[in-house]
Structure 1
Amino acid sequence: MAYSWAKIPIYDHVPSDRLTITLNGGTTHRQSTWRDIAGRPLEDQLPELLQEVDLRGLAAARERAEREEQSRLKRRRWEAATAQAHADCAEAFRVRVLEQQENAWRRAERLSAHLAAASDRIDAMPEGAVRTAAEAWLSWAKAHVRALDPLSGPLRLPEVPEPRHDDLKPFLNGWSPYGPHGR
């Protein structure tokens, strides 16, 4: 039986190996778990634990800064690729216009040759309603051919329309036209 003056402690002060602190996440530098063990209580291990928290925080900050720098570099590369794609798309548009003009010019040349032969034929016709109708048709046809011929008007660099996202895709070399995230 215990004496009335003796007080029984509520807690044991002997390490039980049940108290544990575990750090999750981040890059492990030394260890992730600290235990209250005999000969080395948890409170004596707190400086190591705090140093591990600090090291992980510094590593996380470095990784975050590195990711942000990589993201900035990727955005710059995407912006450069997009600017080049705009230039390449404009060049391709000008080439298409030039080829269309060349096709229209060749067509106008063929039609002009046809109309020259038709004019000779009309000149050989006798005066009358048939010749008048043929001359009216020839007059209309010559005006039509003049409108077809790109060389009949002023020559100038074509105005390039603002490209759509899909227009840029072939010139982006794998980049997304919507942003740097697509690669």
Structure 2
Amino acid sequence: MASGALEEQLAEIAQEVTLRGQAAERRRQDEAEAARQKRIRWEAAMEQARIRYAEAYRFRHFEAQEAAWRHATRLTEYVSAVHTRVEAMPPGQARTEAEAWISWAAATVERLDPLNTPPRLPDIPNPRADDLKPFLGHWSPYGP
């Protein structure tokens, strides 16, 4: 009788070990699936962050072009005002030097004005991890 009870206990222990092993395997699979899903969500967040980063970069470039245009416009107005004054000067060394300055200033403004070249989208640099942080919400740029 004692050997029957022992065999029964061993069968129960073996069944318990099997059940615990199966439960541990299910937990491991569930954790692996949760990690996979989290990585998929993180990768999607990273892709969206790259898109938003590129748009923000383009917009900063756009604002810089507008600022350069305004600056060039103000400089052009100034060069024009100087030109009007110089035209009223009598011929001589001072006028010749002023006309040379006007030529230099006009050429400089020509180079500065973004409207003198066809507009194009800027090349977007590869963002560093820190560049993406503002676009990631609660996600880390280093991984899920």
In structure 2, the residue matched to 1:173 is 137
Matches within 5 A, 1:146-161: 146-161=110-125
Unaligned runs of 5+ in 1: 1-37
Q: Deviations over 1:73-117 (max 9, x none)?
A: 011101000000000000000000001111111111111111111
- Post-superposition shift, 1:46? 0.8
- Post-superposition shift, 1:41? 4.4
- Post-superposition shift, 1:172? 0.7
CA distance in 1, matches of 2:55, 2:94: 50
In structure 2, the residue matched to 1:19 is none
In structure 2, the residue matched to 1:108 is 72
CA distance in 1, matches of 2:16, 2:67: 74
Matches within 5 A, 1:90-109: 90-109=54-73
CA distance in 2, matches of 1:42, 1:144: 100
Question: Taking structure 2 as the reference length, what is the TM-score of the superposition?
Answer: 0.94
In structure 2, the residue matched to 1:70 is 34
Q: Percent identity among equivalent residues?
A: 58
* Structure of higher RCO (CA pairs closer than 8 Å, 6+ residues apart): 2
Say whether residues 1:49 and 2:32 are aligned partners: no
- Which residue type is aligned with residue 111 of structure 1? L
In structure 2, the residue matched to 1:3 is none
- Post-superposition shift, 1:140? 1.0
- Which residue type is aligned with residue 144 of structure 1? T
CA distance in 2, matches of 1:165, 1:48: 54
Unaligned runs of 5+ in 2: none
Q: Deviations over 1:109-136 (max 9, x none)?
A: 1111111111111111111111111111
In structure 1, the residue matched to 2:49 is 85
Aligned-residue CA RMSD (Å): 1.3
CA distance in 2, matches of 1:168, 1:46: 58
Count of residue correspondences: 142
- Which residue type is aligned with residue 44 of structure 2? A
- Pick the structure with greater CA Rg: 1
- Which residue type is aligned with residue 109 of structure 1? T
